[in-house]
Homo-oligomer: A and B are copies of this chain.
Amino acid sequence: MRVAELPLRVLMGPGPSPVDPRVLEALAQPTLGHLDPAFLTLLDQLRSELRSVYGTRNTVTLPMSGTGSLGMETCLVNLLEPGDRILVGVNGVFGTRMCEVARRLGAEVSRVDAPWGRALDPDDLRRGLRDGPFKLLALVHAETSTGVLQDLAPLRALADEAGALLLVDTVTSLGGVAVDLDAHGVDASYSGTQKCLSCPPGLAPISLSERALNVVRARRTPIASWYMDLTLIGQYWGAERVYHHTAPINMLFALERALSLVLEETLPVRFERHRRHAAALAAGLEALGLVLPVPEASRLPPLTLVSVPAGVDEGAVRQTLLSRYNLELGAGLGQFAGKAWRIGLMGAGATRENVTLCLTALSEALREQGFATNPDAVARAHAVLDGEQVSRA
């Protein structure tokens, strides 16, 4: 098979999301050297744009040369030393993963759990922090495994009570939901490029506060990973321009273009677009007769969890959508494996076209499996889109 023979898909899973052709064009720009003055100028611009999207003035705001999970590990390997204590809020796969990564680094891991599909209760976190001291309080802002959005507002005060740094996973929120690191007092965050930034996967934007960097500088033990050592990587991104590793040049071209498109749209307009299309999709799915397990107040606009009805073969439905419409939905993950689909409306994919196609195709595939759906679902979704557009005019 040639790459050029690969199918063209409508990506409505948990990421990667559809990539704007202008980003693909930037990706394919001829490669430059990682110390080329023109490339370094572009890096400065990228960093400035990334700070705007993150809502931070943090000096160390940069994309790590790997995927989102490398971003997670980068934050933990720089901040944690063997024996350090971390409290992780867990309500899905990615909170669970943070525990695992921290444990491998020799940290002592405590966790506060919420049921999958629910946000963590700040009071539960407060109780968990009473067993402190903890060096780090870590949570997932946007749980990609469940489609739950965690409110960041109360977390800084909780971390302060415990004297802990605050680490937040923003993989599926950055660029699609307000993150505002500085306003929320977040000390460290990591994300991915292939969700609401609508860039291919391969980079992990991170940001660390001055307070977090001071903790890194005060370490008693070396950072276990050379590749992820932010004291070294910062010297390439800083004025020194010291070579550390060869930057993934073309992916950085693409990310710069993707960030500039986010800022051209403006963050408020982009967040509202994600919110509106998710609301329309939810209305349509419920009109089809489907159940959304996440309470409305905790729903993550870029990613909607929807239960597979009893008697329906979830894999067969996804297979039908893929082969008939080139439409990719996400399977359930972890506790939701086989029980739910995950439908992404991220970045360039949060469109009326995608909402319409998804509801139409899903309705058809469900009917073929004997599940009666309401033919008005698409109209209900459009009413949300149009009604709100009118009310905003």
Q: Residues of A at under 8 Å CB distance from B?
A: 1, 3-4, 6-9, 11, 13, 15-16, 18-19, 24-39, 41-42, 45, 65-70, 73, 77, 97, 100-101, 103-106, 192, 194, 200-202, 222-227, 243-251, 253-254, 256-257, 322, 328, 331, 333
**What would 16 A/B residue contacts be, using CB atoms closer than 8 Å?**
A4-B25, A6-B42, A6-B253, A11-B31, A13-B33, A25-B28, A36-B328, A65-B67, A66-B70, A70-B227, A101-B226, A104-B223, A200-B250, A202-B249, A202-B251, A243-B333
Beyond A67-B247, A73-B227, 8 additional contacts (C-beta under 8 Å) are A1-B38, A4-B25, A6-B39, A28-B28, A36-B328, A70-B227, A104-B226, A243-B333
Contact of A73 among B34, B192, B200, B225 (CB under 8 A): B225
Task: Tell me the smallest distance from the CB of A68 to a CB of chain B, in Å.
Answer: 7
Q: Is the CB of A249 within 8 A of B200?
A: yes
What is the CA–CA distance of A253 and B26 in the complex, to the nearest angstrom?
16
A202 CA to B249 CA in the complex, in Å?
A: 8
Instruction: Say which residue of B28, B33, B41 sits within 8 Å of A24 (CB atoms).
Output: B28
Are the CB atoms of A201 and B104 closer together than 8 Å?
no
A3:B253 contact, CB within 8 angstroms: yes
Bound CA–CA A35/B342 (angstroms): 14
CB distance from A272 to the nearest CB of B (A): 25
* Known A6-B38, A6-B42, A34-B201; contact A69-B226, beta-carbon cutoff 8 A: yes
Given contacts A69-B226, A201-B34, A243-B333, A251 and B248 within 8 Å (CB-CB): yes
Q: Which residue of B lies closest to A12 (CB)?
A: B33
Decide: B16 and A34 in contact? CB cutoff 8 A: yes
Q: Are A30 and B45 in contact (CB under 8 A)?
A: no
Q: Copies per complex?
A: 2
A101 to B225, CA, bound (A): 7
Q: Are B246 and A201 in contact (CB under 8 A)?
A: yes
B3 x A249 contact (CB < 8 A): no
Q: Inside 8 A of A68's CB, which chain B residues have their CB?
A: 245-246
Whole-angstrom distance from the CB of A249 to the nearest CB of chain B?
A: 6
Closest to A17 in B: B31
Task: List chain B residues, Cβ under 8 A from A33.
Answer: 9, 11, 13, 16, 328
Contact in complex: A42, B3 (CB < 8 Å): yes
| A15 and B66 contact, Cβ closer than 8 Å, known pairs A6-B38, A226-B97 | no
- By the criterion CB–CB under 8 Å, are A200 and B248 in contact? yes
In contact, A6 and B27 (Cβ under 8 angstroms)? no
Give bound CA distance, A67 to B70, whole Å.
12
A1 nearest CB across to chain B (Å): 6
In the docked arrangement, what's the CA distance between A38 and B105, Å?
36
Within 8 Å CB of A30, what residues of B? 8-9, 18-19, 24
Q: Which residues of B contact A66 (CB under 8 A)?
A: 65-66, 70, 227
Kindly state the separation between the CA atoms of A1 and B34 in the bound complex, as whole angstroms.
16
Q: Closest B-chain residue to A106, C-beta based?
A: B224
Chain B contacts of A73 at CB under 8 A?
A: 225-227
Least CB distance from A316 to B in Å reads 14
